[in-house]
Structure formats: C-alpha cells, structure tokens
Amino acid sequence: MQWEFVVALVIAIPIILFPAAFIWYLNIGGIYHAIQDARQKRKAAREEKSRAVAEAQQHITATAAREQPAEKELVKTKR
C-alpha cells in the first residue's frame, strides 16, 4: 500500500467509528440508568409493602387485645 492510502485510512477510520461508538455509549448508559432506577423502585415498593404489613399486624393485635370478652380473662384466674 502506498503511504497516502495508509494516512487516509488512519484519518478516516476514527471519523467513521466515533459516531457509532458514541451512540453505543449513550445506549448502554441509558440502559444502565433504567436498570438502576427499576431496582430502586422495586426496593422502595418492597419496603413500603413490608411497612404496611407490619402496621396491619400491629393494628390487628391491638384490636384483638381490646375486643377479648371479660369471661375469657377470668378462665385462667383462680377464684
């Protein structure tokens, strides 16, 4: 090959490949960001669900303790 052709290739290849590499970089960055965002949303939803379940259990326990009939309390006591 002649040296002029080699110089033309050295100059043309980066000019042609840079836009393609830049678009790949943007796509991969966007996919990475979307995955991170989805993970954070799933984690927040899971924490919210566990918090709601814990609150419901506390409410049920408190309600059940208040609503026990008086005769059940007397069954275990000695007269």
Residue-wise pLDDT tens digits, 6-64: 999 999 999 999 999 999 999 999 999 999 999 999 999 999 998 888 888 877 776 66
* pLDDT at residue 2 in the model: 93
* pLDDT at residue 68 in the model: 58
Which of residues 15 and 74 earns the better pLDDT score?
15
Tell me the whole-structure pTM to 2 decimals: 0.54
Question: Which phi and psi angles does 64 have, rounded to 5°?
Answer: -65, -35
Residue 19 CA: distances (Å) to CA of 6, 15, 28, 59, 76: 21, 8, 14, 60, 82
Hunting for tokens 């814990």 — which residue is that? 54
For residues 9 and 17, give the distance between their C-alpha atoms in angstroms, rounded to a whole number: 12
Domain ranges (residues) in the chain: 18-56
Q: Which two tokens stand for residue 1?
A: 């090959």
